[in-house]
Structure 1
Amino acid sequence: MPRLASSVVLVRDSPRGVETYLGYRSGNSPLGTVAFPGGSIEAGDNDPLTWYGPSAAKWAELLGLADHRQARAHVVAAIRELFEETGVLLAGPDESSLVEGPAGEEWMNAREAVAAQEKSFAEMLDRRGLGLRTDLLKPLSNWLSPDFAHRRFDTRYFAAAQPVSQQPSLLASKGVWASWVCAREILQERDTTALGDLVGQPDTRGLNLEQLTSPAVEIILEKIAAARGTIAYLSHKRPVVKYHPELVLVEGAPMLEVVANFAAEDGAAQRSR
């Protein structure tokens, strides 16, 4: 069975166009060597905590899930993973506020403790009187790893705008490389080794975008690049789409074909290579 996971596409406006935050992931991650913040759902993501925004039942509807508990876990995992990997915390003392500047040694220690599962995310929030601002997340898409993959993930992608009072940073113990990148520029250089050389790791140098990332990252980057701004990107209404890359032979050569299944009465599906 694929492992359930969540990933967050953090976006912001810039003079060059909409930017997003990408990071290096070692160990042949199913999310990609260069990917958005994210990871597997953990047992602690089901712990009780203060919750602001759409209910778990509403999130289940938005994600096209029958189980509201699974939907809740995906949302909690998304906000937790974003906090662990970047320090950006979508939480506040009430439904209209957001914690300011979660930076410095104390916050880094909290990130490390949560990432190492030495302290639960719910405990960290409760100690500081914070609740999750789930209204700041927007659902994007669902990606299921190819059937032939050694490690398979069933990943829910979300998007969020960079909070004005927060800046992302690497996790001290695990972070290697992460940066804001302009989606349009990354795609313009997709056939070059610019991104891989910028990351500068032995398993990224000399590689192009397709070799560095998963199909999910490429398609999301394309949609970000086409947006006229962060507000337009986040406010765009999207159908529930489940993507499932499959291995096919085209004139004898193996290729990945991405099958997109739309949650519609006719069960429509689209394929692209």
Structure 2
Amino acid sequence: MPQPFDAAQDLHDAPRTGGRQRPKDAATLILTRPRNGGVEVLMGRRAQGHVFMASKWVFPGGKVERTDGTAGFATDLSPADAGRLAREVSPHRGRALALAAVRETFEETGLLLAEPAPVASVAGPWREFRAEGALPDLAALSYVARAITPPGRTRRFDARFFMANASALLHPEPTAGSGELDEIAWLPLDEARALDLPAITRFVLGEVAERLDHHERPLPFVRMIRGQHVIEHQDCPWPTRRSPCA
């Protein structure tokens, strides 16, 4: 079934504070794994004191850094996922978004969506990742959703959500990471939905559940247009607030 989006909660999650901010590119990674006849998803709780979404449970992710555009990788995005991103951004920027999702997940959880590679010494945000003897495995990613934070918020992101199976990880269990997440856990999908989640996270969790059975679902794009939340879908000829290509 199509997943509803709670527009009222979204406005409550990030109240309007005024000002005009241009959204920054960001990327998120949703990791799943089969367990006990069901599916678990990796989630983390943001530490108290954050200006944006404090104490909420989220997927690991963050903003794109300049070096994400030049970072090395072991495998590239699939032609299908590269094509979906190419409808929105250049191939270079699309790959940078995917690399940012992998890097941020490593920084926040210690997990490497990667293939073994010689240890390399590099400067900047990729230093610790490359010191692990690994290169990102972008072929393991699927591009599944996009969302832009409404105008007037303290933080605004143009976020792309990627999904991957935990079988592509070099190590199966998370570590403490950077400390941005004060708790990290593999959770059954139903339990994850019962957590204190931002509206967009809850919506994307629903998309994840649907995609486990229907891999070719149209990609949702959540944003605000003229004061109203709208969900558009790639491969659909019109925007809709209720269902993909309904």
Structure 2-normalised TM-score? Answer: 0.73
Match of 1:185 in 2: 191
Q: 1:22 to 1:91 in 2, by over 3 A?
A: same
Match of 2:222 in 1: 243
Q: What is the CA–CA distance in structure 2 between the aligned matches of 1:124 and 1:217, rounded to whole Å?
A: 28
Asked if 1:130 is matched to 2:100, the reply is: no
Q: 1:5 to 1:31 in 2, by over 3 A?
A: farther
Q: 1:242 to 1:174 in 2, by over 3 A?
A: closer
Q: What is the CA–CA distance in structure 2 between the aligned matches of 1:239 and 1:69, rounded to whole Å?
A: 23
Q: 1:62 to 1:180 in 2, by over 3 A?
A: same
- Secondary structure of the residue aligned to 2:217 is coil
Structure 1 residue 20: Cα displacement: 0.8
Match of 2:199 in 1: 215
Asked if 1:269 is matched to 2:239, the reply is: yes
Match of 2:33 in 1: 12
Q: What is the CA–CA distance in structure 2 between the aligned matches of 1:31 and 1:264, rounded to whole Å?
A: 35
Number of positions where the alignment pairs a residue of Structure 1 with one of Structure 2: 216
What runs of 5+ residues in structure 1 fail to find an aligned partner?
100-109, 196-208, 249-256
Alignment of 1:45-194 (within 5 A): 45-54=68-77, 59-63=81-85, 64-93=87-116, 119-121=124-126, 123-124=127-128, 130-163=134-167, 165-171=171-177, 173-187=179-193, 190=194
Seq. identity, % = 26
Structure 1 residue 128: Cα displacement: 5.7
What runs of 5+ residues in structure 2 fail to find an aligned partner?
1-21
Match of 1:29 among 15, 34, 52: 52
- Tell me, yes or no, if the aligned pair for 1:49 and 1:126 is still in contact at 8 Å: no
Q: What is the CA–CA distance in structure 2 between the aligned matches of 1:129 and 1:78, rounded to whole Å?
A: 18
Runs of 4+ in structure 1 over 6 Å off: none
Structure 1 residue 30: Cα displacement: 5.5
- Tell me, yes or no, if the aligned pair for 1:52 and 1:133 is still in contact at 8 Å: yes
Partner letter of residue 241 of structure 1? P
- Tell me, yes or no, if the aligned pair for 2:67 and 2:124 is still in contact at 8 Å: no
- Tell me, yes or no, if the aligned pair for 1:5 and 1:156 is still in contact at 8 Å: yes
Q: What is the CA–CA distance in structure 2 between the aligned matches of 1:68 and 1:82, rounded to whole Å?
A: 22
For residues 219-243 of structure 1, what are the alpha-carbon distances to aligned partners after superposition, in whole Å with 9 as ceiling and x for unaligned?
A: 122234456xxxx35x711323211
What's the C-alpha RMSD, in Å, of the aligned pairs? 3.3
Structure 1 residue 138: Cα displacement: 0.9
- Tell me, yes or no, if the aligned pair for 1:17 and 1:182 is still in contact at 8 Å: yes
Structure 1 residue 148: Cα displacement: 3.2
Match of 2:9 in 1: none
- Secondary structure of the residue aligned to 1:69 is helix
